[in-house]
Amino acid sequence: MSEYSDHDARGVSVGLVEKRFFTFAQPPETLCLESGGRLGPVTVAYETCGTLSPAADNAVLICHALSGDSHVAGTYRADDPKPGWWDLMVGPGKGIDTGRYFVICANVIGSCMGSTGPGSPDPATGRPFGLNFPLVTIGDMVKAQKVLVEHLGIQRLLAVVGGSVGGMQVLEWSVRYPAMVRAAIPLATTCRHSALAIAFNEVSRQAIMADPDWRGGAYYEGPRPDHGLAVARMIGHITYLSDEALRQKFGRRLQDKEAFSFNFDADFQVESYLRYQGKKFVERFDANAFLYITKAADYFDLAQSHGDGSLVAAFAKARARFLVVAFTSDWLYPTYQSRELVTALKKNRRDVSFCEIEADWGHDAFLLPNPRLTDLLKGFLHRVHSDPA
C-alpha cells in the first residue's frame, strides 16, 4: 500500500476557508515597482489551509494563473456548490496534503479578486484607479507575496507551486529570493512568452479596448466593456485547450438544432460553449485587470531580468530543488520551453526533475484531474519535507 494511505486517495475537502486581507506599504513607505512607479497602500487578499508547524517549515505557497484568485481550495460556506479552483489537488490526502502542509494562496496585485488593482480606490482621488494604476510585473507580484509570507511568520517556504502565469511566479521566486525557497514546482509554464503568446494576448487586449464602453479604462461608474472582455476570454480560452480536446468535446456537432441556421447564431456547440465561457467570465472579472495581468505576463523574461539575457546566469542564483512539469498537448507553452529551463538548471548543477505528462486537454491540463500529476506532487513534496533543510 502507498505510504499515503492514511487518507482517502481521492482526498477530503479542507472544509470552510476564509478570505483574509493584509495591507502594507503605507505612505510614505510605498512599494517600489520595477517600472519605477510606487504603490501604496497595498492590500493582498489571501487564504490559508492546514496548520503551520511550530518550526514554520511546512509552508507551501501556491501561485494562481491569470484569472485565478486566492480561493485555491475548500468552500466559503457549508452550502457553497463551488470549491476553490484547485480543490482537486489541495486538501487532506491530496497531491498537496493539508494534513502535512500549511498552504497559502494569495491573489496577485493588479488583479480584481481582493488585492490592490486597477479597480481599487486611488488614495489620491477616492475613485477607481483605472489606467492610473501603475503597470506591475511578475516580479512586483512576487515582491508583494514575500511581504505577506514574512507577515505570516515564515522565513523559508517548503515549496512554491504554480501553473501557467503562476509558474512564472514560481520561477521568479526561485531566483529573486533563493534563500526562501526549498523547492520550486513550475507547471505548464515558460521563462518568457513566445511571439505567439504575446500575439494572442494583444488581440485579447484590443478586443477590450475596442469596446465603446471601455472608455479608456474609466468605466467603473457606468456600463462596463462586457462584450470586449467576453471576446478576450473566448480568445484566451481557445489557447488553453487543444485540437484533440476540442475534437473530442465538440467536433462539428450542432447546438440544439438539426441544420444550419444560415445566420450568425451559434450553430455549432463549440460556438455556444465559447460564448458561455465569455459570459460567465465577465460576471467575475475586471477588464482592466485582464489588461494589466496579460501585460505583466508578456513582459516576463527571466533571462533578461536576472541574467543579462542568459537563462543559465539567471538560474545560477537559484538554490531550490525543482520539479518541472509539461504537458504534451500544451501548445501555448510547449514542452520545449520547459526543457529550456531544465537545461539551464542542469548547467548550474541544480537538483531538477522533469516530467512531460501525456494529456489531451492542452494547457489547462494541470487544472484537471490527473493521477500522475497528483502522485508527482505528492511524492516530490514528501521527499523535500523529509530531507534535512
Shared domain check, 157 and 54: yes
- Quick check: is 80 in a domain? yes
Show which of 250, 267, 289 is a domain's final residue. Answer: 289
Shared domain check, 271 and 161: no
Tell me if 117 sits within 8 A of 67, measured CB to CB.
Answer: no
Indicate which residue of 330, 338, 364, 385 is catalytic.
330
Shared domain check, 243 and 166: no
Tell me if 175 sits within 8 A of 181, measured CB to CB.
Answer: no
C-alpha span between 201 and 232 (Å, rounded): 8
Q: List the grid coordinates of 99.
A: 494534513
Active site residue 330: yes
Shared domain check, 176 and 27: yes
- What residues contact 368, with CB distance under 8 A and at least 6 apart? 88, 359, 361
Per-residue pLDDT of the chain (389 residues; tens, 9 = 90+): 233 333 333 458 999 999 999 999 999 999 999 999 999 999 999 999 999 999 999 999 999 999 999 999 999 999 988 999 999 999 999 999 999 999 999 999 999 999 999 999 999 999 999 999 999 999 999 999 999 999 999 999 999 999 999 999 999 999 999 999 999 999 999 999 999 999 999 999 999 999 999 999 999 999 999 999 999 999 999 999 999 999 999 999 999 989 999 999 999 999 999 999 999 999 999 999 999 999 999 999 999 999 999 999 999 999 999 999 999 999 999 999 999 999 999 999 999 999 999 999 999 999 999 999 999 999 999 999 999 76
Show which of 289, 321, 337 is a domain's final residue. Answer: 289
State the pTM of this model: 0.96
- Quick check: is 378 in a domain? yes
Shared domain check, 316 and 204: no
Number of CB atoms found within 10 A of residue 27's CB:
10
Shared domain check, 332 and 276: no
Tell me how many domains the chain contains.
Answer: 2
C-alpha span between 13 and 2 (Å, rounded): 20
Amino acid found at 128: P
Taking alpha carbons only, the member of 332, 316, 333, 312 closest to residue 324 is 333
Shared domain check, 184 and 70: yes
Shared domain check, 338 and 283: no
Bridge-based pairing of strands 42-49 and 102-106 is antiparallel
- Quick check: is 295 in a domain? no
What is the residue range of 241's domain?
Answer: 200-289
Helix axes 226-240, 195-209, angle to 10 degrees: 160
Show which of 262, 289, 316 is a domain's final residue. Answer: 289
Per-residue model confidence (pLDDT) at position 11:
58
CATH number at residue 236: 1.10.1740.110
Helix axes 138-151, 287-299, angle to 10 degrees: 100
CATH number at residue 375: 3.40.50.1820
Per-residue burial over 226-242, b = 16 or more CB atoms within 10 Å of its CB, e = otherwise: bbbbbbbbbbbbbbbbb
Taking alpha carbons only, the member of 381, 280, 257, 275 closest to residue 322 is 381
Shared domain check, 264 and 308: no
Indicate which residue of 64, 71, 363, 385 is catalytic.
363
Shared domain check, 102 and 136: yes
- Quick check: is 6 in a domain? no
C-alpha span between 237 and 341 (Å, rounded): 25
Active site residue 363: yes
Taking alpha carbons only, the member of 66, 110, 68, 107 closest to residue 86 is 68
- Quick check: is 331 in a domain? yes
Per-residue model confidence (pLDDT) at position 131:
98
Which DSSP string corresponds to 85-149? TTTTTBSTTSSB-TTT-EEEEEPPTTSSSSSS-TTSBPTTTSSB-GGGSPP--HHHHHHHHHHHH
- Quick check: is 7 in a domain? no
Indicate which residue of 67, 120, 164, 338 is catalytic.
164
Shared domain check, 163 and 238: no
Number of CB atoms found within 10 A of residue 365's CB:
27
C-alpha span between 194 and 209 (Å, rounded): 23
How far from chain centre, in Å, is Cα 201? 15
- Quick check: is 8 in a domain? no
Tell me if 98 sits within 8 A of 92, measured CB to CB.
Answer: yes
Shared domain check, 206 and 188: no
- Quick check: is 275 in a domain? yes
C-alpha span between 294 and 306 (Å, rounded): 21
Q: List the grid coordinates of 191.
A: 521563462
